[in-house]
Amino acid sequence: MMNKLSKWMQKKDGSVEENDKQADNIPQHVAIIMDGNGRWARRKGLPRVAGHRAGMKTVIEITRAADEKGVKVLTLYAFSTENWKRPLEEVDFLMRLPGQFLASELDELMDRNVQVRMVGSEENLPSFTVEAVRRAQERTANNTGLILNFALNYGSRTEIVKAIQDIAGKVADGAFSVSDIDESMIHDHLETKNLPDPDLLIRTSGELRLSNFMLWQLAYSELWFTDVYWPDFSQEHFNEAIAAYQQRSRRYGALT
Ligand code: IPE
Ligand code: IPE
Ligand code: MG
């Protein structure tokens, strides 16, 4: 039973305010464009890859934060289809991170009942990356808590092209007609078909763009940007983003 007092929160000055709004209205799906690892490293006079290593620690910290807030899905943009343009050594380093992350954190993810998933194409990924993620997906498949969804070799335009090809193929086969195509059919042909659209998108590092991330799914998401580089992004920053989200009025074009 809910403790009646938990509806109230004591502020620093001793006054008490109703806490309902903060307890409720937690975004179900939070998506994060984890950006700024390279600049974080450069600022410290370190190689870019040191920023990626530091960013890996932020991943577990923010997974814990999301779990503790009661978020249902946390999608983390880890590698875009455009990131192949980077130097080979950096790409290689990035491809090894999922395996390292999962080797050190999978036990905690199991304890937290977290289910690991991935969106993005396995094609072109090294086999050690694919296998590490697959093993984690298999081991956590029956977990029922937070869904930790890695966007790895993910690009929204590629995803949309594939969806159109699938749908067009089915029309050509006579499975359905052009006039049957609607928003829900498109949703069902995206890689996120089993997930709700993100309620909140966070991007770190001060860049104000989507960089080919979930263009369809973000149609009505609330956007929150911070100048903080990803390795410095903390549970406090995450909670700040959630609090900002809770103040937003999502109108979806209507009047409220
Ligand atoms: C984000 O940090 C990680 C990936 C894109 C893989 P960056 O590597 O983009 O860092 P900046 O933007 O160069 O600082
Ligand atoms: C977006 O960051 C991709 C990921 C965070 C994985 P980038 O650093 O690649 O984006 P741009 O190049 O600044 O748009
Ligand atoms: Mg970047």
The alpha carbon of residue 103 and the mean position of all alpha carbons in its chain are separated, in whole angstroms, by 20
User: 168-171 long-range CB contacts below 8 Å, 24 or more apart?
Assistant: none
Least confident of 8-17, 64-73, 161-170, 187-196: 8-17
* Domain presence at residue 17: no
Q: Which atom of ligand 2 is nearest to the CA of 154?
A: 6
Q: Which domain holds residue 35?
A: 26-157+200-245
- Residue 107 is among the residues annotated as catalytic for this protein: no
Residue-level pLDDT at 23: 61
Work out the pLDDT band at 24, boundaries 50, 70, 90: confident
Specify the pTM: 0.92
* Domain presence at residue 1: no
CATH number of the domain to which 109 belongs? 3.40.1180.10
- Give me the catalytic one of 3, 20, 24, 35: 35
b/e string for 76-86 if b means 16 or more Cβ within 10 A?
A: bbbbbbebeee
Instruction: Pull the structure tokens for residue 84.
Output: 């192949």
Residue-level pLDDT at 111: 98
* Domain presence at residue 173: no
* Ligand 2, atom 10: closest residue by C-alpha: 211
Check pocket membership of 201 for ligand 2, CB cut-off 6 A.
Answer: no
Residue-level pLDDT at 256: 79
CA of 181 to the centre of ligand 3 (A): 36
Q: Which atom of ligand 2 is nearest to the CA of 83?
A: 9
Work out the pLDDT band at 10, boundaries 50, 70, 90: very low
Q: How far is CA 225 from each of CA 5, 34, 129, 197, 209, rounded to the nearest angstrom?
A: 34, 11, 29, 18, 10
Instruction: Point out the ligand nearest to the CA of residue 83.
Output: 2
* Domain presence at residue 125: yes
Q: Which protein residues are within 6 Å of ligand 1, measured from CB?
A: 34-39, 79, 83, 94, 205, 230
* Domain presence at residue 7: no
Number of domains in the chain: 1
Cross-strand pairs, 32: 76, 202
**CA pair distance 229, 224, nearest whole angstrom:** 14
- Residue 24 is among the residues annotated as catalytic for this protein: no
* Domain presence at residue 58: yes
- Among 80, 84, 85, 203, which is best to mutate for testing ligand 2, by the most ligand atoms less than 8 A from CB? 80
The alpha carbon of residue 145 and the mean position of all alpha carbons in its chain are separated, in whole angstroms, by 15
**Phi, psi at 67, each rounded to 5°:** -60, -45
* Domain presence at residue 44: yes
Residue-level pLDDT at 139: 98
Mean confidence (pLDDT) of the chain = 93
* Domain presence at residue 212: yes
Residue-level pLDDT at 22: 52
What DSSP state is assigned to residue 98?
H
CA of 225 to the centre of ligand 3 (A): 14
The burial of 124, by beta-carbon neighbours within 10 Å (0-12 exposed, 13-18 middle, 19 or more buried), is given as exposed
